[in-house]
Amino acid sequence: MAGISAARLTEERKAWRRDHPFGFIARPSKNADGTLNLLNWECGIPGKSGTSWEGGLFKLRMVFKDDYPSTPPKCKFEPPLFHPNIYPSGTVCLSLLDEEKDWRPAITIKQILLGIQELLNEPNPKDPAQAEAYAIYMQDKIEYEKSRTKKYSRRRTEKIPEEVATTISQLVIDIQYQQTTLTDVNARSAATEEEFRFALQQLVHKLNIVRAQKCCNP
C-alpha cells in the first residue's frame, strides 16, 4: 500500500471513530492473520428516516486503490440492490465516485456514505446503471417502490422492537457505569467481561421472548 493512501485511510478511520452518523457502519476488513486491511472496508448504510428504505441496514463494501485519494473507492452493495443507479453487480453509480465528474481527494468516507444514502431514495435518472429498475422507475414511480420493496423485503433488516432497543440502551449504560466506577485496572477488566456476558444473556433472553410473542401472535 502506498504511503499516502495508508496515511489518509488511517486518518479516515480515526475521524470515523471520533464522530460518524448514527446507524452507519464503516470499518476496515481483517486479513487472514488478523491485521487490518485498510484498502477494503465493510460498511453499512441505514435507510433514511421517513422513506421506504427506513428500517433497513444495507451492506456495502468499499475498495480503495493504492493511488487513493487521487482516485475514488469502488463502492458495491452486497447483495446488489434493485435501484436505477446501482449496477446488477451491486456497484454504485454516483458522480461523487467518478474522478471525471465530482470526485475530489478531499471527499471523506462519511461524505461518500451519506451521498449513497441520499441516492437510495432519490435516484438520478440521468445516469442509469440498471435497465429494469430504471425502466420501471421512469414509467411509474409508485410501481417502482412496490417492485423494489417486494424484491428485497426478505433481505431488509427488521427494525428492532422498541422494547428491545430500550433494553439494549439500558444494558450499555449499565456496562459503562461499571467501567467508570471500578478503579483497579485488573478488577475493571474482570468485572467488565463478567458484566458484558451477563448483559448478553439478558439480551438473548429478551429477544427470545419477542420471537415467542411473534410466533404466538402472527
* Alpha-carbon gap, residue 187 to 150, rounded angstroms: 52
**DSSP state letters, 50-108:** TSTTTT-EEEEEEE--TTTTTSPPEEEESS----TTB-TTSBB--GGG-TTTT--TT--
Which is catalytic among the residues 75, 93, 215, 216?
93
Whether the CB-CB separation of 32 and 91 falls below 8 Å is answered with: no
* Alpha-carbon gap, residue 118 to 186, rounded angstroms: 46
- Is residue 216 annotated as part of the catalytic site, yes or no? no
Element (H, E) at 1: none
* Alpha-carbon gap, residue 195 to 209, rounded angstroms: 21
* Residues annotated catalytic, as ranges: 93
